Amino acid sequence: MNNFKQEKKKYKKKDEEKEYSQIPPSDLQAEQAVLGAILLDPLAYEKISDLITGDSFYWKKHKIIFKAISDLAGENEPTDLVSVSTRLTANEKLSDIGGDYYLTELTELVSFPRNVDYYATIVKQKYVLREVLNIGEELGKSSYDPSTEAGGLIDWGISELFTLQKSDERSGYKKIDKVAGITVENIQELSEREGAYTGVSSGFRDLDDKTGGFQKSDLIILAARPSMGKTSLALSFAFNAALYSKVPVGIISLEMSSKQIAMRMMSFVSGIPLYQIRDARIPDEDWTRIPEAAGKLSDLPI
């Protein structure tokens, strides 16, 4: 019995060593497909130039190749097989990536060059996962340091993750021909919507008819004089978006506490005037509407 336990422990240790010896998140085939597509398709680099950078690649030779491609594109030079090989030779980097044989192999490994943006998305996601892993490892190491303050470490982790998230959202420059094609597709979708809104409903039909609902990447500013109802309208938008479009909504306020926001929304749901809820001067016959309103709010993704 003891021998069995020892063997089991030994194999468990081997499994753990195997788990931690794995390479960080990466996709060799996706990286090869991106580079191969760029070498084959003159328009491929433009499609992914705002999506990934040299750091997005895990394999060192792929970083070297992509840098040569980026340099050529920045100089308005072709990014085909011959041009990239010539640039790598001039930089004395051709042997580092496996020579012309590997460049040729890249072009043979990609089946559909037009799918370069799909391959690049995979590469980007793997890069983001590696960065998350690095942040996690740094948090783990710092946690063992006796001089580390918990609050400061948490703030650092949140800041790093936020920075990573923002870098993941960047768009960069785009050529007008690419944007025009996407715009035509969006207009086609609008023409086929058959009365349905393409965006998130504000809950106000006249407004939605003019905008098609709140659209992705929109920045909407409510402007008016003080005490004109801007906050109430904004909360109405948030409430209606969660209720009708079933989308998660986040509310950040510098002037109201979470309880004050909840009171306003309870007023929306219950139909009881806000001043009555705020001062707890609710008629006896209306008290049951408060827990009912709270229950409905609890079911919304706010």
Do the domain assignments include residue 13?
no
- The CA distance from 199 to 204, in Å, is 13
* Catalytic sites, residue numbers: 255
Do the domain assignments include residue 77?
yes
What is the domain-level CATH number for residue 147?
Answer: 1.10.860.10
Do the domain assignments include residue 278?
yes
Burial class (CB in 10 A: 0-12, 13-18, 19+), 201: buried
Q: 69 and 28 in contact (C-beta within 8 Å)?
A: no
Give the rounded percent of residues in the chain with a pLDDT score beyond 70: 87
Do the domain assignments include residue 120?
yes
Encoded tokens for 181:
């094609």
Say what the pLDDT of residue 16 is: 45
Do the domain assignments include residue 160?
yes
Domain count of the fold of the chain: 2
- The CA distance from 78 to 239, in Å, is 52
Last residue of a domain, one of 142, 169, 196: 169
Per-residue pLDDT of 82-100, as tens digits, reads 999 999 999 999 999 999 9
Q: Both 163 and 33 in a single domain?
A: yes
Per-residue pLDDT of 108-126, as tens digits, reads 998 888 899 999 999 999 9
Is the pLDDT at 10 greater than 60? The verdict is no
DSSP classification of residue 171: -
The pLDDT of 209-236, averaged and rounded, is 88
Q: Which domain holds residue 131?
A: 28-169
Per-residue pLDDT of 156-201, as tens digits, reads 999 888 888 876 655 555 667 767 776 777 777 667 766 667 788 8
Do the domain assignments include residue 227?
yes
Q: Both 132 and 73 in a single domain?
A: yes
Say what the pLDDT of residue 8 is: 46
Per-residue pLDDT of 57-76, as tens digits, reads 999 999 999 999 999 988 88
pTM over 0.85: no
